[in-house]
Amino acid sequence: MSQYAVEMENISMIFNKTIVANKDINFKVKKNEIHALVGENGAGKSTLMSILFGIYEPTTGSIKINNKLEAISNPIKASKLGIGMVHQHFKLVDIFPLWKNIALGAEELIAKTIVNSKKIKEEITAIMKKYNLNVDLDQSAGNASVGAQQRTEILKILYRDADILVFDEPTAVLTPQEIDGLLEVMKELQAAGKTIIFITHKMAEIWKVANSATVIRKGTVIDTFEISKTTPEKLAEAMVGRKIVEVKNEYKPTLTETVLKMKNVSVRKSNNHKILGLKNFSLEIKAGEVVAIAGVEGNGQQEIVNAITGLSKIEKGQILVSDEDVSKSSIYDRYNKFKIRHIPEDRHKHGLVLDSTLLENMVLQDISNSKFNKMGILNFAAIQTYGQKILLKFDVRNAQSGFAISRQLSGGNQQKAIVGRELTAESQLIVIFQPTRGLDVGSIEFIHSQILNAKNEGKAILLISYELSEVMSLADRIVVVNSGEMVGEIEAKGAKKEDIGRMMLGKES
């Protein structure tokens, strides 16, 4: 019997005859191991796994599953071979309950016609118990939290009895608390005999669960490492081809004028309008100051962002930007008149028009600016020059001079494009929500330095991040929220992680 569950040999993938996403890749995964697949944004990880899962047919190469040559022509074939994939961006039907999403396409039928919902739910419940992987089966996918949606995606492949599980950046969308839970689930799956391929950018996660790691860069394999025989620094260096330096706020003093003033603001919860998600919240940010909101997800962060950017109406209170009341202003005015910019949490929902080109996306909110538009006639040359400059500076890979359709970009490169757009546009206040989600270590370093540049240029910055390390590296001041209320505030200089952690959980510090 072969020791390998997966052997991908000489795989190349060329899109549109020009974009080389994978080049002569040899990738082998031993049975029952957790094998990390790592590399920069756009290195070709998702593409390689999409080939394994039968979504793309490779330009060249062959695949053996359990030592047998297989033509994996579509995902149904992949499922039959015991391969399951949890995608980087989820693929659930919003209006269906979770159990229906899990069983979709593999439903147990009574007399070949009626879906046997009782039996299906029983079977799923048994799987949930076995792996400690719980969701509310009757909740609709659209109302489920990101964590629950992801557990649903995992249940979906376990329901189909997958033996080889591919996780494409599963932790990028989770909170630190949820990540620990998922890593435990992965270990339990391994203990039950499954083989796992795990894509992630986080060294700490690899060291917690993986046995080995393969690094790809610009479509080719650099090396495969045994985790017990290497270090996080070495692996990170193999990924980006250089040493990584952590960026840190130097605490240059802020300017005197106050840019943002939130006075006793209350907002209804974004996913449940019956209750308040933000209560009597007040906050001031000065020019040249980075204020970070720390807290466990769902404690008012989304409501703060929605109130400032205009995505939600406020119930009570007032929001001032440079002393002008924006509380009732349109989203358009907040961008164009009051110069508020926004890096949204959900890059697909609020960040990009996925079927438009990158260049169009680079001027999305500024299309009526006289720089790009004279009495309704677009100045394409100006848009092109402006957009290309951003894409170059923020190292958006395979942008094809901006003419690439945004959907075709890798997830991390889509994120870099959004961050580039928002940091480049003229602004006085930038609201930044989870800016480095899904970015590789080199890109995180770069984005962090750009955020600090914006501070040094005198912009007021509100940073919301669930990653305490990100908060600690960038903030001048840290505000802690719990249950929609401010529970504490602390100067970042000299602050300790443990103190903030304690405040986040609502305990007295």
Ligand X SMILES: Nc1ncnc2c1ncn2[C@@H]1O[C@H](COP(=O)(O)OP(=O)(O)OP(=O)(O)O)[C@@H](O)[C@H]1O
Chain residues in the site for ligand X (CB under 6 A): 15-16, 19, 21, 39, 41-47, 88, 397-398, 408-413
Contact partner, 408, from ligand X, Mg ion, none, Cβ < 5-8 Å per class = ligand X
How many of the other CB atoms lie within 10 Å of CB of 497? Answer: 11
Contact partner, 19, from ligand X, Mg ion, none, Cβ < 5-8 Å per class = ligand X
**Cβ proximity to ligand X, 46 vs 299, nearer residue:** 46
Minimum CB–partner distance for residue 163 and Mg ion (Å) = 23
**Cβ proximity to ligand X, 165 vs 314, nearer residue:** 165
**Cβ proximity to Mg ion, 37 vs 503, nearer residue:** 37
Taking alpha carbons only, the member of 161, 69, 491, 468 closest to residue 297 is: 468
Minimum CB–partner distance for residue 442 and ligand X (Å) = 11
Contact partner, 42, from ligand X, Mg ion, none, Cβ < 5-8 Å per class = ligand X
In DSSP notation, 88-155 reads SS----TTSBHHHHHHTTS--EETTTEE-HHHHHHHHHHHHHHHT----TTSBGGGS-HHHHHHHHHH
Minimum CB–partner distance for residue 112 and ligand X (Å) = 37
- Four-CA torsion 272, 273, 278, 279, nearest 10 degrees: -130
**Cβ proximity to ligand X, 46 vs 254, nearer residue:** 46
Q: Would strands 83-86 and 34-38 be described as parallel, antiparallel, or unpaired?
A: unpaired
Contact call for residue 50 and Mg ion (CB under 5 A): no
Minimum CB–partner distance for residue 222 and ligand X (Å) = 13
Three-state DSSP class for 161?
coil
Contact partner, 127, from Mg ion, ligand X, none, Cβ < 5-8 Å per class = none
Residue showing the smallest CB distance to Mg ion in the complex: 46
Q: How far apart are CA 475 and CA 470, in angstroms?
A: 8
Q: Is 345 left (phi over 0), alpha (psi -120 to 50) or beta?
A: alpha
**Cβ proximity to Mg ion, 299 vs 410, nearer residue:** 410
**Cβ proximity to ligand X, 74 vs 456, nearer residue:** 74
Contact partner, 398, from ligand X, Mg ion, none, Cβ < 5-8 Å per class = ligand X
Minimum CB–partner distance for residue 38 and ligand X (Å) = 9
Angle subtended at Cα 2 by Cα 33 and Cα 87, rounded to the nearest 5 degrees? 40
How many of the other CB atoms lie within 10 Å of CB of 68? Answer: 10
Q: Which residues between 72 and 91 bind Mg ion (CB under 5 A)? A: 88
Minimum CB–partner distance for residue 58 and Mg ion (Å) = 17
Q: How far apart are CA 92 and CA 95, in angstroms?
A: 9
Minimum CB–partner distance for residue 224 and ligand X (Å) = 16
Task: Read off the tokens for 385.
Answer: 């020059």
Contact partner, 279, from Mg ion, ligand X, none, Cβ < 5-8 Å per class = none
**Cβ proximity to ligand X, 214 vs 410, nearer residue:** 410
Number of residues that bind Mg ion (CB under 5 A): 3
Contact partner, 436, from ligand X, Mg ion, none, Cβ < 5-8 Å per class = none
Minimum CB–partner distance for residue 88 and Mg ion (Å) = 5
- φ, ψ of residue 403 in degrees (nearest 5): -90, -5
Residue showing the smallest CB distance to ligand X in the complex: 412
* Contacting residues for 231 by C-beta, under 8 A, at least 6 apart: none
Q: Which residues between 354 and 413 bind Mg ion (CB under 5 A)? A: 410
**Cβ proximity to Mg ion, 314 vs 409, nearer residue:** 409
Minimum CB–partner distance for residue 388 and ligand X (Å) = 16
From residue 210, give the alpha-carbon distance in Å to each of 36, 198, 282, 320, 446.
Answer: 6, 8, 44, 49, 27
Q: Which residues between 173 and 202 bind Mg ion (CB under 5 A)? A: none
Interface with Mg ion (CB under 5 A), residue from 22, 46, 195, 415: 46
From residue 83, give the alpha-carbon distance in Å to each of 73, 106, 157, 222.
Answer: 13, 15, 8, 25
**Cβ proximity to Mg ion, 216 vs 283, nearer residue:** 216
Q: Would strands 485-491 and 340-343 be described as parallel, antiparallel, or unpaired?
A: unpaired
Q: Which residues between 431 and 450 bind Mg ion (CB under 5 A)? A: none
Task: Read off the tokens for 184.
Answer: 């435990």
Contact partner, 43, from ligand X, Mg ion, none, Cβ < 5-8 Å per class = ligand X
Q: How far apart are CA 106 and CA 109, in angstroms?
A: 9
Q: How far apart are CA 403 and CA 393, in angstroms?
A: 16
Count of residues in the chain: 509
Q: Where are the alpha helices (DSSP H) in 372-426?
A: 380-393, 411-424
* Contact positions vs Mg ion (CB under 5 A): 46, 88, 410
